[in-house]
Amino acid sequence: MKPIIELRNIRVEYKMPRGVARVVDNVSLDIIEGEVLGLIGESGSGKSMLASVIMRVVPPPGIIKGNVFLDSKVLGRRVDILKLNDKELRMIRWREISMVFQGAMNSFNPTLKIKDHFIDTAQAHGIRDKDLVLDKARKLLELVRLEPDRVLDSYPHELSGGMKQRALIALSLLLDPRLLILDEPTSALDMISQRAVLDILKEIHKKLGITMVFITHDVPLVLGFAHRVAIMYAFKILEIGPLYKVFKDPKHPYTRGLLSAIPSLSSDIDAVKPIPGRHPDPINPPPGCRFHPRCPYAKDLCKSKEPPMIPVEKDHLVACWLYARR
């Protein structure tokens, strides 16, 4: 149960003409070595921005506050990623932490063949032996169920969306990272391609034991895949715990609403209940609990004071005053 990453009091702020938008707000989270953590929430809840903090690729003029601790094997010491210099940051990217960004087409240079992406990535980290790199690339492409020679000699536009996504996953594994962050890796794919990518990720985790963070707004995708889930709403984490506990017995009213809004083949469509109301404004969020304007259980305390993360069971925490000790 040793954390590979420890996020502490993370905030990301953007100064806007009408005020400061806080798009990640005081988030603390441990990512446990060897686990698959599902990070779930609506679009615009701050999931991708939180991943960008770990990689330290928050788009300017974003200001990051807090700490991201990593027990770095490459640097040989415990470090705060947010305080590393550019050279140290390049050393841990891809070697210790790698990320598959949303939209595979945007991650490839359209003028380069896939093999050139592998070679350039390796050379950027001091690996000059092209034959060694391409040999490893072939093995990784086989792992993601692609034909190595055909794919390596192709330009990105010559591959389907699912093939590009799998090639990008293979590229992200080139330097044997300890943590792989997957930002909505199936969002642009059809259902068959989604299932293929998920099966491949499960196989990669089984064979390599790599730690993964799987970011999605599509709750069913993490079933049978993630070990733990963190539910994010309005730039904060509201609930976190083992997947089977959170989905079988959700504690936060938002988590319950999120699960109730999912259509099911085995239930009446009339049973699907969307969450009423609107997502809060990042510049002027409601006081107290962010969810209270949409919560059927809100009381006066919820409207005035922000709830802490409260343990309800072992490893299951929820930010809700309903579970505060009286």
Domain with residue 18: its CATH number is 3.40.50.300
β-pairing, 310-313 with 77-80? unpaired
The number of beta carbons lying within 10 Å of the beta carbon of residue 38 is 23
CB 239 within 8 A of CB 41: no
Residue 300 lies in a domain: yes
Residue 133 lies in a domain: no
Boundaries of domain holding 65: 3-107+177-323
Residue 149 lies in a domain: no
183-216: pLDDT as tens digits: 998 887 888 888 899 999 999 999 999 999 999 9
Higher pLDDT, 281 or 264: 281
Cα–Cα distance for residue pair 120/116, rounded to 1 Å: 6
The structural domain count of the chain equals 1
Could you tell me the CA-to-CA distances from 154 to 121, 151, 163 in Å, in that order? 17, 5, 11
Among the listed residues 174, 197, 195, the one whose alpha carbon sits nearest the alpha carbon of residue 185: 197
> 326 pLDDT exceeds 60?
no
Residue 186 lies in a domain: yes
Report the percent of the chain where pLDDT is more than 70. 96
Cα–Cα distance for residue pair 241/272, rounded to 1 Å: 24
Residue 278 lies in a domain: yes
Residue 307 lies in a domain: yes
| Residue tagged 């591959």 (tokens) | 159
Please, which residues have CB within 8 angstroms of residue 306's CB and are 6 or more apart in sequence? Answer: 287, 288, 289, 290, 319
Residue 144 lies in a domain: no
Q: Residue 102 — pLDDT band, cuts 50, 70, 90? A: confident
Indicate the DSSP class of residue 158: G
Q: Provide the token pair at 151.
A: 């794919």
31-60: pLDDT as tens digits: 999 999 999 998 889 999 999 999 999 999
Q: Provide the token pair at 315.
A: 């490893």
> 300 pLDDT exceeds 60?
yes
CB 292 within 8 A of CB 298: yes
The least confident of 144-158, 165-179, 188-202, 257-271 is 257-271
Cα–Cα distance for residue pair 12/41, rounded to 1 Å: 17
Cα–Cα distance for residue pair 175/168, rounded to 1 Å: 13
Residue 155 lies in a domain: no
- Stretch 212-230: mean pLDDT: 92
> 276 pLDDT exceeds 90?
no
β-pairing, 97-100 with 316-318? unpaired
Which amino acid does the sequence have at 197? V
